[in-house]
Amino acid sequence: MLHMATRCGMGRLETGQIIFGKYAEKDLGRCMIGNVLEDVKGLQCWVNGEGTYDCHGTLVKKETLGTNMSIRWAGDLSTQITDGTDYLTQHPTGVVSDWIHGTILCPADTETNNGTKGNPCLVADIFGDFREEILVRTKDSSAIRIYTNTEVTGHKLFTLMHDTQYRCGVTWQNNCYNQPCYPKFYYGIDMDFHRVLPYMQQKPVIYLAGDSITQSYGNEERKQTGMGEKLLSCLDHGSSNQVHRSSDGPFPQETKYESRNLVVDNCAMAGRSLKSFMEEGRLEDIKKRMKSGDYLFIQFGHNDAASSKEDRYVPLTQLSDYLEIYVEAALEKGGYPVIISPVCLCPFDQDRNGEKEEIARLLPAYRDEMRRFAETKNVLFVDLYSICEAYLWKAGEKTAVECYTEDLVHLSDRSGLLRAGRSL
């Protein structure tokens, strides 16, 4: 649900696309979303004085409920609200009501907080149910009361706090402008309980498409390290993880890292460019397995700039064309593309010549073109080149040289750049 002083409506979080909405000439207050009409499929949304709409933007009721705070109180999986619609002059106490059941709870000698916002102290599933409790203070602020629904139902579900998105919402609910929190699964009268657990257990996968800077290496190559080997420990710091080397796929170097919350599938391969990685079918292999909500990290550059190797070379003028193929592959699957610039070569290398000197000279231009393309397509861009270069100059020559293998191009197993890469 979107709400601003000049617009109300609904949009898709992934893309920002407006599903429906309209401009307003005044501040409409707040908006709310929930299952408040049992004869309308899905969730409904409403804005003060603007009516109640279904998820397609159809006006289903001219009236609106209050918008101070919603609560999942009833045993039938519908949504209730706290207090009424007159948020400017009422003295809210934490009354729970809706259109289906009427007034369900009417606390006595209590008050809510934040003036016209009428916020309870907290609305959350704190006792371990699929319903929420409401916490309100007594009128004299000498105590906090917890109200819970003891109605017996035929439903059985783990606590809402098991859902990471909901738990995060409970955390920020008291930080500033209190708003309801929502689980990442559909919660409504017609919900299918069998679909909830598989959805919650689904982990986002980060697919890595890249070259030797990102590739995973075996024990026989341990002096050399790829960023893909360390990414999961940076993104999910402190979690234990499992490592699976591909045994039955078409690309045996592929290595998967899995923690409780996240999967990193490292498909990077040394010596590949945007062009050769795609021509070998590696991008298509990722696309076949990618699902909505996954990520595609695109990290190339060194081999793309190697003009002497025709099978790899991607002229700067064609770089955006290849990047677009990767970005579109991710978007087509409902995923999120992230473009990552190449890592700089060791800035303290005094003996560069030939192709290495040419690549070192060209990488900043390839980095700049990646940034330009990302800005044009509104795609996230990570300037790893500048991050690493700044780290190396600050660290000094001795530490900088230790970050690389003997060729001062590839990363060593002691590379501080792997720590600097946490900026990702």
CA neighbours closer than 13 Å in the CB half-sphere of residue 23: 2
What's the structural domain count of the chain?
3
Three-state DSSP class for 82?
Answer: strand
Domain identity same for 263 and 318: yes
Q: Name, in order, each residue with C-beta under 8 angstroms of 177's C-beta and a sequence gap of 6 or more.
A: 117
Other CB atoms closer than 10 Å to residue 132's CB: what's the count?
25
What pLDDT shows up at residue 93? 87
Tens digits of residue pLDDT in 389-410: 999 999 999 999 999 989 989 8
- Mark whether 241 and 337 lie in a shared domain: yes
Same domain, 109 and 249: no
pLDDT of residue 419: 55
Reported as type and span, the H/E element at residue 168 is: helix 164-173
- The pLDDT tens digits of the residues spanning 235-253 come to 887 777 788 887 777 898 8
Domain membership of residue 2 as a residue range: 1-64
Residues facing residue 122 across a β-bridge? 135
Whether 288 and 410 share a structural domain: yes
Q: Are strands 336-340 and 295-299 parallel, antiparallel or unpaired?
A: parallel
3-state secondary structure of 349: coil
Pick from 47, 64, 81: which residue ends a domain?
Answer: 64
Instruction: Say if residue 46 is in the same domain as residue 96.
Output: no
Query: Hey, what are 180's tokens?
Result: 């309801």
Query: Helix (H, G, I), strand (E, B), or coil: what is residue 288?
Result: helix
Q: Are residues 193 and 246 in the same domain?
A: no
Report pLDDT for 20.
82
The verdict on 337 and 256 lying in the same domain is yes
Say how many C-beta atoms besides its own lie within 10 A of residue 84's C-beta. Answer: 15
| CATH code of 293's domain | 3.40.50.1110
Q: What beta strand segments (E) does 12-106 contain? A: 18-23, 31-34, 44-47, 51-54, 59-61, 70-71, 80-82, 96-98, 102-105
Query: CA-CA-CA-CA torsion for 70, 72, 77, 81, nearest 10 degrees?
Result: -30
State residue 260's pLDDT score. 80
Give the burial string for 384-418 (b: 16+ CB within 10 Å, else e): bbebbbebbeebeeeebbebbeeebbbbbeebbbb
pTM: 0.65
Closest alpha carbon to 384 in 363, 398, 353, 399: 363
Distance, first Cα to last Cα, the chain = 30
Q: How far apart are CA 213 and CA 20, in angstroms?
A: 45
Within this chain, do residues 400 and 276 fall inside the same structural domain, yes or no?
A: yes
Tell whether 178 and 36 lie within a shared domain.
Answer: no
Do 224 and 116 belong to one domain?
no
Which of 130, 158, 136, 137 is closest to 74 using CA atoms? 130
Same domain, 11 and 97: no
Beta carbons of 71 and 88 less than 8 angstroms apart = no
Residue 281 shares a structural domain with residue 207: yes
Domain end (from 143, 168, 201) = 201
Question: Among 13, 41, 64, where does a domain finish?
Answer: 64
Q: What is the pLDDT of residues 251-292, one digit of tens each?
A: 988 999 998 889 999 999 999 999 999 999 999 999 999 998
For residue 424 the two structure tokens come to 């990702």
- With a cut of 70, which residues of the chain have pLDDT below it? 1-7, 14, 84-90, 176-177, 199-200, 220-222, 415-424
CA 302/CA 285 separation, integer angstroms:
22
pLDDT at 174: 73
Beta strands in 161-231 (DSSP E): 205-210
Closest by Cα among 61, 28, 22, 26 to 45: 61
Q: What is the DSSP letter of 117?
A: G
Q: Which residues of 225-234 are buried (b: 16+ CB within 10 A; e: fewer)?
A: bbbbbbbbbe
Rounded to 5 degrees, φ, ψ at 398 are -60, -50
Backbone angles phi, psi at 376, to 5 degrees: -65, -40
